[in-house]
Amino acid sequence: MEDILIALYYVSAIVIIILHYTGWLEDRAMEWVVYLVAVLLFPMLYFAYTP
């Protein structure tokens, strides 16, 4: 189950990066989503890869 959650995080992060570079997020004033993904990256990696 943990691997599925990690995969979902990475897929959503890739989608958000694509939306950021195409300008879709800026048009809708949702640039804060990029920062949210960046902040959630560190705890996700810590809890996902520590034994």
Domain that holds residue 26: 2-49
- Tell me how many degrees the CA angle 51-41-3 measures, rounded to the nearest 5: 50
How confident is the model over 11-47, as pLDDT tens digits? 999 999 999 999 999 999 999 999 999 998 888 888 7
Count of domains forming the chain: 1
The CB density around residue 13, as the number of other CB atoms within 10 Å, is: 16
The reply to whether the predicted model has a pTM over 0.85 is no
Token pair 């950021």 is found at 20
